[in-house]
Amino acid sequence: MEIAVYVLMTMVCFGFLLKYTFSGWKTICVVAMLCALFVALMWPVAIVQSRNQIADWLSSPDIMRNTSALVCIDAALTMWFCIMEVNVEVRAHMPRWRILLYDALRCFPGFMIFAVLFSLLVGLVFNMPGGNFRTISYLAGLGVAILMPALVSGVKLMLPERDIRLEMLFLVSALSAMLGIVITVNGSTAAAGVDKIDWPATAAMLALAVAGGAVGVLLRNLKLRKINRNNNY
């Protein structure tokens, strides 16, 4: 379980850095300062944590389900941002509300990055028991403020192609959501298994999938006809 959590934390951090390669330096600096202030001011909460309490959190199904929900929300918003990024690139004109939504999604750091930063701060506190906790937190916040823009620049240098970064961000978000669901199980399932197949429910799901596909094809054909008609004019 702990290994899966560490992998999820790594993916959250990598996706966070990937996302801000599409932002300007002002946005990156503002988000870096926000994360740095969070780390610097959370030391009173971090010092009262214990390894046993964190182990209890990891073994609690309710807490893990809530965490999985936050991971899925973050992943959905990031994937939505990827779709909006493509629309901004291919469309010449967009409504004002879509542009505002795109800017909001691009600037939104997500929920899980703060959970990851807090866990890193708690780890520093555990590994430096004799130090001044306030100083450790301030230094950690300073490190976040310096490292975040540097790491964003490093990711941008390693992956200069914008399309590749966008595809990778989409895939990392999808994998993070799936991993968040997997670690929620924690050795148990939310529903009991059954031996018999519910054929009416299966038929209903297939009919719904076929109907959705038919509607999608119909809408696509109508849109293509409209585009061809406009091009002919």
Q: How far apart are CA 127 and CA 44, in angstroms?
A: 16
Amino acid at 80: W
The radius of gyration of the chain from alpha carbons, rounded to an integer in Å, stands at: 22
Q: Is the pLDDT assigned to residue 148 strictly greater than 90?
A: yes
Global confidence as pTM: 0.73
Q: How far apart are CA 90 and CA 162, in angstroms?
A: 14
Sequence ranges of the domains in the chain: 2-189, 200-233
Instruction: Provide DSSP, 31-60.
Output: HHHHHHHHHHH-HHHHTT--HHHHHHHHH-
Q: Select the more confidently predicted residue: 164 or 87.
A: 164
Token pair of 68 as six digits: 């999985």
The region of weakest confidence among 62-71, 72-81, 206-215 is: 62-71
The region of weakest confidence among 21-35, 42-56, 94-108, 136-150 is: 42-56
The region of weakest confidence among 6-20, 22-36, 81-95, 181-195 is: 181-195
pLDDT band at 95 (very low <50, low <70, confident <90, very high): confident
pLDDT band at 34 (very low <50, low <70, confident <90, very high): very high
Q: How far apart are CA 47 and CA 201, in angstroms?
A: 51
- Contact between 137 and 123 under an 8 Å Cβ cutoff? The reply is no
Taking residues 150-173, report their average pLDDT: 90
pLDDT digits (tens, 9 = 90+) for 41-76: 988 888 777 666 666 666 667 777 788 888 889 999
Instruction: Provide DSSP, 123-192.
Output: HHHHH-TTS-HHHHHHHHHHHHHHHHHHHHHHHHHH---HHHHHHHHHHHHHHHHHHHHHHHHTT--SS-
